[in-house]
Amino acid sequence: MGLKLFNTLARSVQEFAPLDPAQKKVGMYCCGPTVYDFAHIGNWRTFVFADLVRRYLEFKNFQVTHVMNITDIEDKIIKRVRELKIPLRDFTGKYETAFLEDLKTLNCLSPHQTPRATEHIPEIISLIEKLIARGIAYKASDGSVYFSIEKYRGCGCNYGQLLKLNFDEMRTGERVKSDEYAKESIADFALWKSRVPDDGEIFWPSPFGEGRPGWHIECSAMSMKILGASFDLHLGGEDLIFPHHEDEIAQSEGAGLQPAGQPFVKYWIHGAHLLVEGKKMSKSLGNFFTLRDLLAKGFTGREVRYLLLTAHYRETFNFTLEGLAGAKTALARIDECVGKLREIAGNTAAEPEPGSWGWRLLDKFSLALSDDLNVSRAWAAIFEWVRDNNLFYHVLQDEQIRGGDTMRTAFAVKAAAEIAAWNKIDSVLGIGKKAEAEIPAEISALAEERIAAKKSKDFKRADAIRDELKLKGWTIEDTPKGARLKKL
């Protein structure tokens, strides 16, 4: 079955078909972080969502090139660098490293390329030159270069492809900086901002004079350089639709580099907002969380990822600490089931078996995700699978103890096939295995002593050790394969 996604450009759910004639290669761009602070949980919703899209495309055997830019030059960055009096790269490097670390904590696959805006100034300049040559961009009296929406529309191009726009009211709500009064029209946006005293030493030479790029042009220049002038997927949060993505289309299509009849981007996919505890996140309300804040509260990246993946990407999601606690419980159910299956399977390897629960799970899972990434249906199928396997385990425990080697081998193969199906599912969800709690030497020594006590039939001592372990936060489970330590 094909994959269907909601394309903001078409305002409808569409069948996904990449531009590649072989229907194999997919170019995917997701607007990355502005590295001036730690990313918050609302930002992370978008990046986890992009990771899900990429992983699902790979699950469907597409060859994805995933690009995510790093915005390392921007108004807020300049302001902070000026305040802190440190070199630009020292400042942005710190937050870029933190961002990439957090990306790993959330088990997001590293994008194949993470281009920095400051390392693409020549590409940005060349794109602006093309727009000037085509009469769509102009240099204003303040030395900045602006994109003229009127000229762009005059060439028969459509500004407002993602959003129906009222041109009379456009951008009047945006803060107009004094150095932007030179624009011909309030709707025009800066491609190149001329150097002002507040910029300090942060500027680049260009044919239009010293200055720095505007934010929108960075994404057009870097995405087209790496993925080509026309590519398949562009992702981002819905707050970026206007003006950022609308401007990206205008700049990229305005430069006219696409093959005839092809758009800059075929599918625009946007993730919805995130509320925290029912409200818009804000520092004053105390509901503003970075990933690091949540880790400090004792939650794990895995729990945060799970919770973010329980909501459909087009629905506003209410992120709560209670929801995170629920994520812990849900993951524990999956872990317990997968753990037991692994124990039964031992070293046996198998492929998913037609007709098995795992086979059915794979079927339901891909039907659900192919339907515009319907995660709720996917999770329902997963918990049904957990329930079925748990029942199987209970029957099995008795049978295994009573049954002979042939039966044990048959069960091991069945369990291994279920695990193989789960591993395929997890290649998309990326919730992985629970990190095994390290067993301190003192605890394993006690467990050894208990085994010895049981062997010599000193049950009193064995029970005393069990109690002692419990006091130290560990429980010991006797399984058909021997005793197993578990953290309480």
Residues near Zn ion (CB under 5 A): 31, 219
Phi, psi torsion values for 270, nearest 5 degrees: -120, 135
In the complex, minimum distance from the CB of residue 239 to Zn ion, in angstroms, rounded to a whole number = 11
In the complex, minimum distance from the CB of residue 102 to Zn ion, in angstroms, rounded to a whole number = 19
Q: Which of 254, 272, 277, 273 is nearest to 264 (CA)?
A: 254
In the complex, minimum distance from the CB of residue 358 to Zn ion, in angstroms, rounded to a whole number = 39
In the bound state with Zn ion, the residue whose beta carbon lies nearer, of 219 and 331, is 219
Residues in the chain: 488
In the bound state with Zn ion, the residue whose beta carbon lies nearer, of 254 and 352, is 254
Task: Please enumerate in sequence order all residues whose Cβ is within 8 A of that of 371, keeping only pairs 6 or more positions apart, or say none.
Answer: 4, 377
How many whole angstroms separate alpha carbon 472 and alpha carbon 488?
9
Rg of the chain (C-alpha set): 28
Q: What DSSP assignment string belongs to 166-229?
A: -TTTTTTTS---GGGTT-SSTT-EEEEEEP-GGGTT--B--TT-SEEE-HHHHHHHHHHHHH-S
In the complex, minimum distance from the CB of residue 65 to Zn ion, in angstroms, rounded to a whole number = 17
In the bound state with Zn ion, the residue whose beta carbon lies nearer, of 236 and 301, is 236
Q: Cα 346 from chain centroid? A: 33
Asked if 415 contacts 344 with a C-beta cutoff of 8 angstroms, the reply is yes
In the complex, minimum distance from the CB of residue 218 to Zn ion, in angstroms, rounded to a whole number = 7
In the complex, minimum distance from the CB of residue 31 to Zn ion, in angstroms, rounded to a whole number = 3
In the complex, minimum distance from the CB of residue 219 to Zn ion, in angstroms, rounded to a whole number = 3
Amino acid (1-letter code) at residue 454: K
Looking at residue 158, the DSSP 8-state letter turns out to be -
Let me know if 252 is exposed, middle or buried by CB neighbors in 10 A (0-12, 13-18, 19+).
buried
Asked if 71 contacts 35 with a C-beta cutoff of 8 angstroms, the reply is yes
How many whole angstroms separate alpha carbon 302 and alpha carbon 107?
7
The residues that bridge with 137 in the sheet, in sequence order, are 147
In the bound state with Zn ion, the residue whose beta carbon lies nearer, of 9 and 375, is 9
CB atoms closer than 10 angstroms to residue 265: 31
In the complex, minimum distance from the CB of residue 217 to Zn ion, in angstroms, rounded to a whole number = 10
In the bound state with Zn ion, the residue whose beta carbon lies nearer, of 253 and 303, is 253
In the bound state with Zn ion, the residue whose beta carbon lies nearer, of 215 and 474, is 215
In the bound state with Zn ion, the residue whose beta carbon lies nearer, of 31 and 52, is 31
In the complex, minimum distance from the CB of residue 198 to Zn ion, in angstroms, rounded to a whole number = 24
How many whole angstroms separate alpha carbon 380 and alpha carbon 385?
9
In the bound state with Zn ion, the residue whose beta carbon lies nearer, of 215 and 319, is 215
In the bound state with Zn ion, the residue whose beta carbon lies nearer, of 30 and 420, is 30
In the complex, minimum distance from the CB of residue 359 to Zn ion, in angstroms, rounded to a whole number = 41
Let me know if 137 is exposed, middle or buried by CB neighbors in 10 A (0-12, 13-18, 19+).
buried
In the bound state with Zn ion, the residue whose beta carbon lies nearer, of 219 and 378, is 219
How many whole angstroms separate alpha carbon 167 and alpha carbon 163?
11
Q: Cα 88 from chain centroid? A: 27
In the bound state with Zn ion, the residue whose beta carbon lies nearer, of 18 and 214, is 214
Let me know if 426 is exposed, middle or buried by CB neighbors in 10 A (0-12, 13-18, 19+).
middle
Q: Which of 471, 481, 162 is nearest to 342 (CA)?
A: 481
In the complex, minimum distance from the CB of residue 87 to Zn ion, in angstroms, rounded to a whole number = 25
In the complex, minimum distance from the CB of residue 174 to Zn ion, in angstroms, rounded to a whole number = 17
In the bound state with Zn ion, the residue whose beta carbon lies nearer, of 223 and 287, is 223
CB atoms closer than 10 angstroms to residue 237: 21
Alpha helices in 231-374 (DSSP H): 246-254, 291-296, 301-308, 321-345, 357-370
